[in-house]
Structures are given as structure tokens and as C-alpha cells.
Amino acid sequence: MSSSSVDAILPYWQTSTPLVVTATASDPDGYVENVELFYRYRENSKVSWGSWTSFGLDNENFDGWSWSFTGSDGYYEFYSIARDNDGNVESAPAEADAQCGVDTVAPTITSIVINDNDYLTSSTSVTLSTDASDVTSGLAKMRFSTDNVDWSDWEDFAASKSYTLPTGDGLKTVYVQVKDKAGWVSTIASDSITLETIPPPPEGALTVTIGTIRAGEIGLADFTQYGIAVTKVRITPKHDVSGVEVYVVVHAVKPAGVPAITLPVYSYFDITTNIDAAEVRRATIEFQVPGSWITQNNIDNRTIRLLRLNGGWRELSTNFVGADSIYFHYEATTSGFMPFAVVGERMVTPPAPAPLVVVPPPSPTMPAPTPVLPVFYTLLAIFSVGISALALYHVLTWRLRPFVSLKILKRVMPTRPAITLARLRIPRRIKPTISLERLVPAPMTLAPALPVGPLKPVPIVTRLPVSPRRVVTRPMAPTEILKRLKRGRKPAKPKIPLERMRQIAEPLAPCVSLDSLKRVARPLEPVITLEGLKWAGRPVERIIWERPKRAARPMKPHISLKRLKEAARPLLKPRVLRERRLAIWGEGPKPFLERLKREVFKEKKRGRRAT
């Protein structure tokens, strides 16, 4: 039985077509006639596989079993099926022999966005969002550059990535490239952002300069002289900072774009600084609220607190410091500078007590009599219980009906054997017991030591020499050739009929009867002619016949066992050698048929002219 498998395709991702697919095939008891390649395809990894399709048949093994495979971009799987000279066909495998992917298109990069498309940043640490895609193999790597000359190493692709800009204020541009799994590199995309590590003071802000603050020390910015809600701002940095300035902007009404607050608000204000927010370890804000505002709005001074806008208004830890004749003083701790608001809650007036209502004690009541069910309902309940018990008994004692009836089971017939009895009686390999040559009678010779004439004995020829048959090709007209091609090739008759094969399998009847064999075993009677009797008086010349030096060997059968095996089973399509096929068809069957049709047309045209 022949076997075959498709060789591994390396690398997995192919960037051009056609690609060469090779296979290995073998047959232990013969040779491989041809190998057929099958494949299946899917466009990308998110869709399911298509059906198996035959790509082509390779009948020639001059340069190995190979195919020049072409196809569109996507994923492919392959397997092969071999056929040997005995007509056996290999079964399809359960899994594919080889896999590969074809990707001939580079990935597409749409854009790169820095910090959600902001135009300004105060920190060198930014977030890059890359929008890229690849239809077939998928994105694999990415790299970055800030000057489009020196690039970073390739790293795994990620839609979002943290990136550090070069130091120094000004316009910063980031370039990006992506690469897919097949190795294709995309075009270059870029985006720009302005870096300002020292922000300018806000418009209309009150500015207080602190100067240099050492790590662990507290820097104080005093706004008492301005008479606003914020009085002092204390900053504790993580590292040494210099040239520190604090800016405060007070809003008369709620700024646009900030959410509303349901509580009474005393003041809205913004606090910013010229150092990076990541450098601030802790900040304390001292603020004051006038007692007149608290009294006019009926505010509980214990509920005064500071709110910070950070994705919504968040309450800060606020403590009461003290009070004077005009203001109540408070302080709050924060971890950053954002818009702030000072709020308080109104005082709640306790409700007046409800009048006392005296409820007289309840009068004693007699217990209600127990209802007695009528006799009809009692009998109905007993009857229902009995019916339910009977139904439960039938359910428990009910026998399950078989899923398949006996009538259907009788229809099941035993399967027919795959090999019939007639085929089993015909063995594949038959070796005759006695060859036909050994049963041919030996040539008869004259008895020795008897007077014979001067004539030499004539040997008996038992079989005429067989000369090889010579096939003479007869030229055919183009019309006759075209008719034979349309009619198709006739099935070849076996050179040895099946009846003859059965005779060979059975004990052969001897061609020489038993009486003839007995006569051969007896001494031969002398055969003396009248001419020989005339020489009887003369001295007898003794003729000594020499025995052959070696016995005759049995002749080999003219029909080989391989030919006998081919005659014992249905004939296969005869193998046509490459040289003979090229001699018949030339460069191919299609050009030959075209020339044949032209010759037929010319022949018919000459016939019409002759008439």
C-alpha cells in the first residue's frame, strides 16, 4: 500500500507566490503511479476553514513530487494522496500534513496620538496611542523615533504605550513604524506636542514667590494681604526645587465647564504652581470664611469643608483652626492643585414634638370558633387522595416500552462481505505444479547397437520457434483519428482469460496419456527400412551414442508472475511513458487537437472541391 505526506513549508509566512510545495511518497511492493495535492483555505484566523479542494495531480517523478502553488493572502493547510501501480489509493489523513500562511501586503498605520491629541504637556512622560491594522498575519512589532533617523529597537506591538519625550521645552515630534508577523514594515506616522515644563502664570492670577525649597522642608506662600478666601499655601516637595511660584485665581461665580454643587458655596478658586505636580509630596491650604456669610445663609460652621475637582468634586480632610471677630479659619490637606470650592451645610431645625394621645385599653374578645368542614368537602378530599395514590402505583409499576420494536430489529440484515466467494477462490499468486514444457514427450531416437543404414536419424521437432510479433502501424486519416479520440479508448482485453487462470489454479490434466508414458518406458521396437535390410550382411558399424553431459533444465515460463497478477484483477489504465506521450501529443493534447481539427477541415474542403 502506497503512502505519502507533504513536506513542511518553512518559513510559515510566505511573502510571495507561487510557492513550491513538495511531497514524499513510497510503495513497499511496487512503485507510486501519481500523487494528488489537496488544500483548504481561510482568509484570516477569525473565520472557519473552507472545504478540501484538489490542487493538481503529479504523474511524473523526475524531479520529485512537487507543485507550483498559487493563491491569495490567507492561511493554508495541505495533504497528499498517492496511487500505486496496483490501483491502491491512499486514504485521506485525519489532520493536515503541512501548514503555511501567505501575506503579500504590508500593514497599514492610520495615526499616532500623543496624550489624547493634546497640544500642550508639562511632563516628559506621555501616552502614545497607535492605530494600525494588518488583515492577514497580524501586527507583531513596533518602533519609535524622535528625529526619523535614529530608531529604537523593535518591541511587541501595543495599541497604547508610555513614552518619555526628550528634555527641553518646545515642539516634540514622535515617529512610529509597525511590522507584521510576515516581516512587512508599514509606512511612518507621526504626531507632535508642545512641552512646557515651566507653565506661565494664569491670567489675572495673584502670584507669590517662594524660591528654593529643600527636600523634606516646607515652603510657605502667604496670600493674607489680598483679603481672599485663601490665606496660606504650604508645599512639601519630594526633591530640591528652585524658583517656586504659587498662583491663585479667585472666581466670582462658578467657572464654566465644572459640575454644579448642591450645597451652598462660599468661593471658587484655582491654585497652581510652576513645578511639576509629580514633585509635590504634600500641600496644605489655609482658608477663611466670614461669619456674616455663615449667619446669612444659616450655615453650620462645623460643616465647612474644602472640595477639590478631580474627576468630580472630592471632599478633602478639613480641620477647624480658630475664629476671630470676622472670620472662621480652616485648613485642608491635598496631594495636588486643581480647582477648589469652599462649601457648608445649612443648619437643620428640629421638628416640634407631637401631642400625646391616650389610647384606651382594648376590650376583651371571645375566641373565634373553629370552623367545621362540611361532609361533602371531606369526601372530596378522600377521593382525591385515593385517585392520586392509584396513579402513583401505575406509574411505579409501568414497564418501559422498548425504543426499537422487534419488527424493526428483524429488518436488520447481515452486511454483505467486502470480498465475494468467487474472488476468494482465485488466488493472487499461482505457481503451476508442473510446467507445460516438462509434459511434452521427449524426442524418439533409434535403439543403440542395432544395424542401421547410412541415413542419419532425423530429430523430431515438437515445437516451432516463436518469432516476436511485429506490429505494423497503419496510417490513418485525420477524420478517422478525430473519430477515435471522440469514441474513446476501448477497454483492453486481458491477455490471459479468467477461465484460463482458473484452469491454472486447478490440478492440470497431463497432455500425455498414461499409455503413451508406458510405451516410452518400454524398450523401443527397432525401426528398419527395406533399404537398411540390404546392408544386413555387411559388418555392422557400431554407433556409440553419448549421453548428454548434463540433464536438461526445466524451461522458465514465458508468462511472468507479475503479468499473471495483472490478468487476475481488473485492468488498470495503462501507463504511458513520457517519451511515448510526447511522441503522440507533442507539446500537449490541446495544440495537437487544434492541428487535428485544421487537418480535418482541409480534408473536407478538398473533398468538396473534388466533387
- 439-449 pLDDT per residue, tens: 555 555 555 55
Out of 199-203, 288-292, 524-528, 577-581, the most confident range is: 288-292
pLDDT confidence tier of residue 319, bands split at 50, 70 and 90: very high
H helices of 91-231, in order, are none
pLDDT confidence tier of residue 248, bands split at 50, 70 and 90: very high
Tell me the per-residue pLDDT of 513-572, one tens digit each, with 9 for 90 and over: 777 777 666 665 566 666 766 666 555 555 555 555 555 566 666 677 777 777 666 555
Tell me the per-residue pLDDT of 41-100, one tens digit each, with 9 for 90 and over: 999 888 999 999 999 988 887 778 889 999 899 999 999 999 988 888 999 999 999 999
Q: Which residues pair with 69 in a beta bridge?
A: 19
How far are the Cα atoms of 111, 167, 198 from residue 195, in angstroms, in the given order?
20, 9, 9
Q: Which residue has the higher pLDDT, 200 or 110?
A: 110
Distance CA 399, CA 14 (A): 66
Provide the grid cell at 133. 491594522
Q: Which residues pair with 194 in a beta bridge?
A: 120, 171
pLDDT value of position 185: 93
Provide the grid cell at 303. 460643616
Specify whether the CB–CB gap between 289 and 303 falls below 8 A.
no
Predicted model pTM: 0.37
Distance CA 72, CA 74 (A): 6
Label residue 578 left, alpha or beta by phi (over 0 means left) and psi (-120 to 50 means alpha). alpha
Distance CA 25, CA 85 (A): 13
Specify whether the CB–CB gap between 328 and 291 falls below 8 A.
yes
pLDDT value of position 427: 52
E strands present in 252-377: 265-273, 280-290, 305-309, 313-315, 317-323, 327-334, 339-343
How far are the Cα atoms of 416, 477, 600 from residue 611, in angstroms, in the given order?
64, 19, 17
Tell me the per-residue pLDDT of 211-225, one tens digit each, with 9 for 90 and over: 899 888 899 999 998
pLDDT value of position 288: 93
pLDDT value of position 458: 52
- Please count the residues of the chain: 611
Q: Which residues, other chains included, contact 152 with Cβ-Cβ below 8 Å and sequence gap of 6+?
A: 143, 144, 145
Nearest 5°: the CA angle 219, 220, 222 is 160
pLDDT value of position 30: 83
pLDDT value of position 389: 86
Residue 499 one-letter amino acid? E
Half-sphere exposure of 535 (CA within 13 A, CB side): 13
Q: By percentage, how much of the chain surpasses pLDDT 70?
A: 69
* Residue in this structure with the C-alpha cell 493538481, named with its chain if needed: 56
The rounded mean pLDDT for the chain is: 78
pLDDT value of position 432: 60
Residue 408 one-letter amino acid? I
Provide the grid cell at 35. 500523487
Whether the pLDDT of residue 232 is over 90: the answer is yes
* Of the candidate ranges 221-235, 334-348, 364-378, 379-393, the one whose mean pLDDT is the lowest: 364-378
pLDDT value of position 140: 92
Residue 208 one-letter amino acid? V
How far are the Cα atoms of 129, 131, 156, 166 from residue 189, in angstroms, in the given order?
12, 10, 17, 19
Tell me the per-residue pLDDT of 85-141, one tens digit each, with 9 for 90 and over: 888 899 999 999 999 999 999 999 989 999 988 888 888 899 999 999 998 889 999
Provide the grid cell at 105. 501586503
Residue 362 is classified by DSSP as P
CA-nearest of 219, 201, 203 to 211 is: 219
Q: Which residues pair with 327 in a beta bridge?
A: 290
pLDDT value of position 76: 95
Count Cβ atoms within 10 A of the Cβ of residue 230 and give its class: 0-12 exposed, 13-18 middle, 19 or more buried: buried
Distance CA 562, CA 142 (A): 65
Find the helix packing angle between 578-585 and 589-610, rounded to 10°. 30
Half-sphere exposure of 558 (CA within 13 A, CB side): 6
